[in-house]
Structure 1
Amino acid sequence: MPPQDPLYDPAPDSRDEGTDAPRPRKLRPAVVLSVIAVIAVVASLVFFLRPGDGGNAAAPAGTAPTSEAALPPAPEVTYYQQPGPPAGSPLEPVEPLQVSVSNDQVGTSLTKGLVGISLEATDLADPMLSGDNASLVKLFKEADQPVLRFGGNAVDRRFFWTSTNEAVPSTGYKGDKAHPVRAVGPADLARLNTLLEAADATVSLTVDLGHYDPERAADMAKHAAEIFGPRLLSFTVGNEPNGFGANGVRPGGYSTGQYVEELKAYAVAMNAVAPNVPISGPGAYDRKWWQPFIDADIPQKKILSFHNYPLHSCDGGDPKSSPTIANVMTPLMHQRADDYQQAALEVAKAAGLETWLPETGIAACPGSNETSRTHASALWTADYALNAAQLGITRIGFHSSMLTCKGGPPMSAICSGGAYLKPDGTFTGRANFFGISMVAEMEGGKFLNLDSKGGGLMYSYALRNGDGSTSVVLVNQNDPEKAAQTEVTLTLPERALTGTMTQLAGPSYAAEDSTVIDGAKSEPVPLAERATVEGFAYGSRQQTFKLTAGTVTVLNFKH
């Protein structure tokens, strides 16, 4: 097997803890059972709720009344067929899950463009980033209006911007066969723009701070603003400047004071030629760098950005932070991310800044580890993105690569076919990409408060969508090889007239290339074509059903 390449250069030893119209599609055979008519008991031409079904709660203006009221007969539906536990599984029981969703809003939203792909700045020179690349267009459409962020360790080491076709300087830029030095110019940005337009994506750029040159950065900003227009969301000055002193980008050390002074020079020069483009920063993985950026007197300071890789102990020195499946599938992993993200949100909110997480992933470690390419990474990705959005983070970029699936970075959400270092430009998504797709394909809406009890290793989210429907997401991280199906009792804020579902599933935590959505390696079935959750109770607030372990299930209820 070809050698594995790191997703990016080895980092310091530790990281800080912490309705689009539906696309037409036929229902997949693996998804549904044969059509079963739901028998409606009709005493006359109207249908009345039975006492005790919870139908007397008050409803907000604009929603269906929840008092006993006439309903038409129940329509015919097709039930969703989810996979069961693997044959021979021990079927360890899981405590039943009880979820009660309120009409009260959390105060945060799930918006289109939440989840995106982070790439190295040198990838801007890759001719495969084009609207002519059908496979990339398809993938990014499945990520539904993603942000493509360009930065990574490459930007301060081996990225050279030139609008005049200069040669890359012979000193100061260092690469290797897998990570070469690249020159990037306006033609590369114009080619990328064809991809953004074809896939309905946006872009966020990072300028080189490793080689101090505010004028060159301003020249890049000027061309980018002209070429991308409103699709350009932000600039960041440097990538992870907190590591410059330790990793040799700036020999002799690099302080927050030096960073702020250089940041000011860059921001002023860039703002003079691209005055409408926000500055985000510091793009660091050390929280001590957040406040200096916030306090910096620079124009267009709109976004606090930070990086986070929850599992950072690459040498195993901290067993709880080592990249193992046992660590990924644990409540500590969820809580660690939650705590770190809340810390960033707190300081950003106090300063009136938006909060982005433009570079993240399970582990900061190069090469393969237990979590690479696994179904566990899909379960983690979906929960991580949803929890971050519910807390208030508005952009998340999962760090990825344009290299090949064989031999390329194993944690990349996307990869190309072809022999090692010879990508053929046909891109596919790995397991963690399907986790991204599940979140991206949601309708978007405002998070609702809920009470959740039981369910073992499960996480619950609820949203009120723009059309008045309610979405409920249940991330079932119980072991798909061992755990029995979980009995779920869900109480909705209003009576449900329809209840459909889509589901990500896989046979085991460690399974590679086996994650599917609705039985196929593709995006979720369009909302209008989804099958009904088995056991759906027409006209009732309370829904009872079972969920297979190792799944992410998105339920949508119309009232």
Structure 2
Amino acid sequence: MRKQTVKNLLLALMIVPMMVSCKKTSDLNGVDMDTDIKVNEPAPVALHPNATGTPVTITIEQNQQSYQVAGNFLGLSYETNNLLWSNNLNGKSNAQIQLIRNLGEGVLRVGGTSSGRMYWSDKAVSKGSKTDSITTTQIDALASFSKTLGWPVIFGLNLAKYEPEVQAKLAKYVSGSLGSSLMAFQAGNEPNAYGELGFRKQGYSYNDFQGEWKAYFDAVRKLTPNAPFAGPDVIGGANWVSSFAGKYKNNVNLMTVHYYNNGPASDESITYKTILEPDTKLGAYLDKVNDASAKNGLKYRLSECNSIFNGGGKAGVSDVFAASLWALDMMWTVAEHNGQGVNFHSGSAQNFTAIATVNGKTSARPVYYGMLAFKYGAVGGRVLNVKTAATTVNQAAHAVVKNGTTAVTLINKGDKDILYTVRLTNNASTVTVARLTAPSADATSGIAFGGSSADEKGNFAIASTESFNVNQKSFTIQVPAYSAAVVNVN
């Protein structure tokens, strides 16, 4: 019996170590990182054998699929007065059309603060047309532009100047001109800021707004019975969202809200590093909006958003490569909180615009390249759970699965290279990498995705990727400082 017991003990000592998870304390910052690697598993395949960087380990739960990223997730938002500009939203700029087409499906939104200062002329443009009036000519040009792109329109009505019957006539014309390209009307832009903007007396409340909104809804539906609506189009104001969804859930098809990372642009303390810092506000806000929407059988969209509010964004922040990385990470956050899309506020030569037109020349700006990376790495996929081991590194990791391919987006928002260890639930055969890069975080040119930039005609195609054979469940990949990588795993 004693000999048999000793024999069994020796066998147990040989077997147990192979069943125990290893805790690996690593990393240049002295952070404990639980890699949870079984000792009988092979070491991760090194995609870049000689690469260095601060180690970060992520684990992707490939069999735990969540929300699907909408096919028309990407979008652009324009001020209403942009309809008056000769090279915006009217099809006169072939480069603008091509740049938008590169993004695939999407949504246009026309509104903004200027919608509260524009008037409806109900006639074609002429020499006598006032500079603050929208004519049938501009609406027809918008309709043609929308149909050419295949992007439907969310159109904002002027609630700041309270004229339900006048705006109902505008809505009727817009509906007739756009036809099936009309996604929804909105009555009012950021009404919860009307007191601050001077459109109403201080103290303008949700109760004031909801009565005025319903008057607009009734006036429009009287002339255009099936007109679709969205709202409340507030900036922040989660309590307004909840009240509006509960009261008007049968009158709207979509909840819409706005979000800006920071501001105002005049704040001298804001730098490009500011927008790359972890955003502790956005996720909590989106959860409130999603809960209020879902509770009433609705979904929501950020109909207007960007990096810095006021002044069209901030030079050196909104118009540099850091904004590409910010936009990419922000869109992922919205998708992971069941948002149906993001419309980046844009137009002409504004600092934060995704597509700029200066002196008749149209070009892609930093936010645009973040949108491209999101299109290739997220749109149409189902969100996966990504677990990141404890780290103080300024980075973000996201993933979806689409048609059997797991697409992982790795974003390095700091000034040190990162060496990621990517751990998968399922065995991987091949890995393909397309990178989002620029000469520096504050670069305004030289921005590329997949080794390519849009040309002067707006054409874009990925020029270079990296391909690797893996044939196991884990690999390491380097993501240099201030860059991102879209990693397709098959």
Alpha-carbon offset, residue 525 of structure 1:
4.2
Of residues 300, 306, 315 in structure 2, which corresponds to 1:361?
A: 306
Distance 2:302 2:353 in 1: 17
- The one-character-per-residue Cα deviations of 1:366-397 (angstroms, maximum 9, x if unpaired) are 26444131111111010001111111111211
Please tell me whether the aligned partners of residues 272 and 318 of structure 2 are also in contact (alpha carbons under 8 angstroms). no
Q: Pick closer, same or farther for the CA change 1:525–1:415 going to 2, 3 Å.
A: closer
SS at match of 2:466: coil
Q: Pick closer, same or farther for the CA change 1:166–1:293 going to 2, 3 Å.
A: farther
Q: Pick closer, same or farther for the CA change 1:105–1:131 going to 2, 3 Å.
A: farther
Please tell me whether the aligned partners of residues 271 and 299 of structure 1 are also in contact (alpha carbons under 8 angstroms). no
Match for residue 267 of structure 1? 217
- The one-character-per-residue Cα deviations of 1:35-58 (angstroms, maximum 9, x if unpaired) are xxxxxxxxxxxxxxxx84599xxx
Match for residue 191 of structure 1? 141
Distance 1:388 1:452 in 2: 19
Count of residue pairs brought into register by the alignment: 440
Determine which structure has greater relative contact order: mean sequence separation of CA pairs < 8 Å that are 6+ residues apart, divided by chain length: 1
Match for residue 287 of structure 2? 342
Please tell me whether the aligned partners of residues 502 and 525 of structure 1 are also in contact (alpha carbons under 8 angstroms). no
Match for residue 175 of structure 1? none
Q: Pick closer, same or farther for the CA change 1:53–1:229 going to 2, 3 Å.
A: farther
Match for residue 410 of structure 1? 351
How do 1:429-468 residues align onto structure 2 when only pairs under 5 Å count?
429-442=364-377, 443-453=379-389, 454=391, 456-465=393-402, 467-468=403-404
Alpha-carbon offset, residue 208 of structure 1:
0.5
Whether 1:375 aligns to 2:311 is: no
Please tell me whether the aligned partners of residues 431 and 515 of structure 1 are also in contact (alpha carbons under 8 angstroms). yes
Q: Pick closer, same or farther for the CA change 1:502–1:300 going to 2, 3 Å.
A: same
Larger gyration radius, structure 1 or structure 2: 2
How do 1:489-528 residues align onto structure 2 when only pairs under 5 Å count?
489-522=421-454, 525=461
Gaps of 5+ in 1: 1-50, 56-79, 86-92, 171-179, 419-423
Q: CA RMSD in A?
A: 3.0
SS at match of 2:308: coil
Please tell me whether the aligned partners of residues 355 and 368 of structure 2 are also in contact (alpha carbons under 8 angstroms). yes
Compare 238-247 and 435-444 and name the one that shifted more: 435-444
Match for residue 25 of structure 1? none
How do 1:88-487 residues align onto structure 2 when only pairs under 5 Å count?
94-128=53-87, 129-157=89-117, 159-165=118-124, 181-251=131-201, 254-287=204-237, 288-297=239-248, 300-313=251-264, 316=267, 323-331=270-278, 334-366=279-311, 368-401=314-347, 403=348, 405=349, 409-418=350-359, 424=360, 426-442=361-377, 443-453=379-389, 454=391, 456-465=393-402, 467-479=403-415, 483=416, 485-487=417-419
SS at match of 2:452: coil
Please tell me whether the aligned partners of residues 428 and 489 of structure 2 are also in contact (alpha carbons under 8 angstroms). yes
Gaps of 5+ in 2: 1-39
SS at match of 2:176: helix
Alpha-carbon offset, residue 246 of structure 1:
2.1
- Residue identity (%): 23
SS at match of 2:253: strand
TM-score (normalised: structure 2): 0.82
TM-score (normalised: structure 1): 0.72
Please tell me whether the aligned partners of residues 115 and 436 of structure 1 are also in contact (alpha carbons under 8 angstroms). yes
Look up the equivalent residue of 1:355 and give its one-letter code. Y
Alpha-carbon offset, residue 441 of structure 1:
3.4
Please tell me whether the aligned partners of residues 202 and 233 of structure 1 are also in contact (alpha carbons under 8 angstroms). yes
Q: Pick closer, same or farther for the CA change 1:130–1:207 going to 2, 3 Å.
A: same
Look up the equivalent residue of 1:384 and give its one-letter code. M
Q: Pick closer, same or farther for the CA change 1:370–1:125 going to 2, 3 Å.
A: closer
Of residues 465, 468, 471 in structure 2, which corresponds to 1:531?
A: 465
SS at match of 1:539: strand
Compare 107-116 and 290-299 and name the one that shifted more: 290-299
Look up the equivalent residue of 1:387 and give its one-letter code. T
Distance 2:425 2:339 in 1: 26
Considering fraction of residues, name the structure with more helix: 2
Please tell me whether the aligned partners of residues 120 and 134 of structure 2 are also in contact (alpha carbons under 8 angstroms). yes
